[in-house]
Homo-oligomer: A and B are copies of this chain.
């Protein structure tokens, strides 16, 4: 699987690495690990993304230099021999900067990804949907290159695997995943510190708004559907950014018997952001698609131009239709 890419790496010297907009732990961790590997074998490696690093991943800067795209980097892009696009299933998700790479660079493009929907857009595509994370594939690449692990590489891969497996609990968590993590921990990385950086940085206001929303929780369809909402007024009262409601929907997964969780966020008078989560491979992507949203089987979203009341009615209507059909 990695022979061709190993050959390409050995033959070239200047590498650019990028990932999707609004990067997550798998994208950022994979970038950091790959850059550290390339540097370890004497290559030049730059990480440039369209989006800034989210606050809870800023600690990764200690392990790899992650730049946010600006014009000053055009020369780096132009001079790159090879561009790695990691954790991306289609080219558009690089952001606007993606088209710039396509225009300004003659580099060979290599995609490393584990999304089943990957379109194979690059010159060379390393896609394995059975992998727990792109980070696991970067680990495999490191093995193929025979690059010994160091703390930078291990931290990047740990962050990628830990976040994309939901702390080693999603079905993608195989025996091999734990074997790899066992090797990473030999490099002195500290799970508790990393977990804290990523997951324990919430504001008190977020907790209060979450509390207010949970206290108005709704359960329907014989306990199978749980939904709740946050209004514009609640955000204003506690002075909370809409981004800080990320993750609210996951709270409902703790409730027994719930298969579909829904969170409605009133972003302003006209727009509602809907987050859907499911269990048992119940396909919430289908529901999102019907309302012009999208995502995955177990996690999908919709941006609706509607009042909160209208959005709730429409989404619950679709969910109920779909639940009775199954």
Choose one: B167, B178, B210; the contact of A167 (CB below 8 Å).
B167
The stretch among A11-19, A24-32, A187-195, A288-296 that forms the contact with chain B is: A187-195
Q: Which residues of B contact A179 (CB under 8 A)?
A: 178-179, 182
Interface size class of A (residues with CB under 8 A): 35 or more
Q: Which residues of B contact A186 (CB under 8 A)?
A: 175
Q: Quick check: is A321 within 8 A (CB to CB) of the other chain?
A: no
Question: Which residues of the other chain, B, contact A178 by a CB distance below 8 angstroms?
Answer: 178-179, 181-182, 185
Tally of this chain's copies: 2
B181 in contact with A254 (CB, 8 Å): no
Annotate A144-185 by CB proximity to B: 1 below 8 A, 0 otherwise: 000000000000000000000001111101111111011111
Q: Does A208 contact B (CB under 8 A)?
A: yes
Query: Which residues on the B side are within 8 Å of A196 (C-beta)?
Result: 279
Given contacts A200-B255, A201-B256, A207-B252, 15 further A-B contacts (CB under 8 A): A167-B167, A168-B191, A169-B192, A173-B185, A174-B185, A178-B178, A182-B182, A199-B254, A202-B254, A203-B256, A207-B214, A207-B217, A208-B215, A210-B211, A211-B214
User: 8 closest A-B pairs (Cβ-Cβ)?
Assistant: A211-B214, A211-B215, A178-B182, A175-B185, A179-B182, A201-B256, A169-B195, A167-B167
